[in-house]
Amino acid sequence: ESMSKLDIKDLKSRISLYIEAAGGTNMVNAYKSAVSMLSEQSEQDIAMENRIIFLTDEKAQSEQKMIDPSTLLGMVNHNKDKIYSTMIGVGVDFDNDLIEKITNLRGANYYAIHSEKEFVEILDHNFELMINPLLF
């Protein structure tokens, strides 16, 4: 379904149930929360593929680049066969080194957004390809 056909008010209210401002971006806690929500869903539908989509301007701390179970990279690596990841970077300070390491993992992909036009292009016109890549 095209993003332009969605009920934007309904979508915003659904998203606001799970997102709250708390003074900064913490991708590790966001990833843990998403995995928890998907784990609950996965118990109901084993055949479903799951993907976490990050939309962030995050410039990760250097320790997040290590493959350790407590880092973002480590958690994405640990779940790479059952939960896929899409990173959508907004802005110029996005940590390309970390993103390159994450997108080298199975099922991960990355998009950079520098304008409103690119945002619409990726999230409307290319959404199906983003969540259902041809190969990985």
Backbone angles phi, psi at 43, to 5 degrees: -65, -30
Q: Cα separation of 127 and 124, whole Å?
A: 6
pTM above 0.85, yes or no: no
Give per-residue pLDDT as tens, 25-84. Answer: 678 888 898 998 888 775 666 667 788 988 887 665 545 555 666 788 889 999 888 899
Beta-carbon count within 10 A of 91 CB = 12
